[in-house]
Structure 1
Amino acid sequence: MAKKRSRTKRGYPKNIIITFEMKQAIIWKVYSKRVEQIYNIKLNKKYEYSEKKQIYHYFENIINNIRNFIQKGLRSILIVSPIKKQYNNDFLNHIKSHQKWLLDKKNPNSISIRSLIGSIKNFDDIVELINSKQYKEVVKSAIVNEDDQIIGILKKRLNNTKDGLVLHSLNEIEELIYQDGKKKKKFKPLKLNPEYIILTTNYLNNHRQKNRVHRLLQIVRNREIKTKIIDSENPSGIFIDSLGGITCFLKIKSDYEKELGDRIIQKKK
């Protein structure tokens, strides 16, 4: 009998990297335990010889391919291009001119973007990059900025109980998520739609029922609910740990939704 091949753990998603070269841009998804190439977007000619219209569609194609990740809550983006090349600056200027919503801090889907100089031509290059001190410092800055935006929304919900609902326990969050089915094929629309579910690395790594937590995360992702795992060493992580290490928040839009939220809280007391 053939030996079953073991699967390498990916861990949780952390950020997106876009690497530019003369005739292509590669989109990488970085997890806590590994990195994966997601898309390879090519130009017909070298960048310098491409027409403005071609460059426009090239950049739009990149944005369209990361849009789904952004909408699911993965909003820390690093762009990398070789020294003496303008790919990073041109891409940022394109966003400012044609996709301003990506940089609008009032928009819940705005990105936290940073840039680095470097030439990434293969998988070994990207692994070397993500293990470098420079990368870790730049990405930490982007992630902390993204975390701060999310925590800002959470604090608004905490300070306005009439318009916001915040759940602080695994039991409460399971009650909210599981009440309309656990199997993807039988999902019904949730009566209450979370803005975010947040966990800290301490909570994820040290919970006594890890399988239970991972089961929740899988169903949450299948439902395309935004999730964010925050480093417990960051200020935002310290704040979430002070709330119990896991939280779910949403905006209440009606008295009916308020009543549903109160039922969940009362049921778990």
Structure 2
Amino acid sequence: MSCRATVIVPTSIDRGPLLRYSVGSVLRQTVTDLEVFIVCDGAEDDTRAASEALAHQDSRVRVFDFPKGTRRGETNRHKILTNHADGEIVCYLCDRDLMLPHHVDQMHRALTRHDFANCGYLDVKEDGRVVPEFKLDSGNSAQRARLVRNGRMGVMLSTMAHRLDFYRKLPFGWRTTPDDWFTDHYMQHQMLSQPGCRGVGLATPSIVYFKRGHHPGWPTQQRAEELKVWSALINDPPALAEKLYGALGEVLTDRLTLQERLKRALLVGGHPPAIAFRRWLRRRLRR
């Protein structure tokens, strides 16, 4: 029986404490007609136990337990999407990230007319600052051509989604990624390289993203505490709105600062370029 979305949550080693929050954010989506596949890639006992506990609590959750595969076990994702997935669309969520409640609905609506979609996200820094980001509009022909031409660039796994029927027509699907590529970028490159692929970028943020590089050396439990705080925020709309308005204010302040810097950099003899040109032209005409 088909459903509206399949959500793939890859996990491994000791990430069990994160799953109650990351998977929990999927189970609280406004779209309830979905299935959640936790894909264990060499998971330790505690992570498997945490995964099974979530499956026991909610019948929409299934656990696929694999030994550690090459890279991030991409071939296992292909097996699952080929043989087990029933969603109209496929979303992904890193076990350290969170979905805002409208994420699956936003992606599903976009993918009624497109094959691949990516969305904006909230980038949470180590010091707690929140920066709204939108790295790629996969519906923009120039940006897409640059990605396809240059390769080795793309968006984060949690911010991408695609139609399942489109995936099953691809030449390869998820496969072992060369060492000099990110696994998610390699998959996106394959999809967006297809001549018939209809891509779309959604600037509205619907993922809360915690980049590993922003938190070097953080143990899993410390990451779990951060996800706990953000999970509480997501479940408290007024508090979340206050956080988002604060982030918007920082973005606008940064933009104003950048504009002022650009203006100063472009001054010619202390004047904006247009005024400086008119002054120069008047001097020339007087000669």
Same fold by TM-score, threshold 0.5 exceeded? no
Q: Which has the higher contact order (CA 8 A, sep 6+)?
A: 2
With structure 2 as the length reference, what TM-score do the two structures score?
0.28
Query: Computing the radius of gyration over CA atoms, which structure comes out larger, 1 or 2?
Result: 2
With structure 1 as the length reference, what TM-score do the two structures score?
0.30
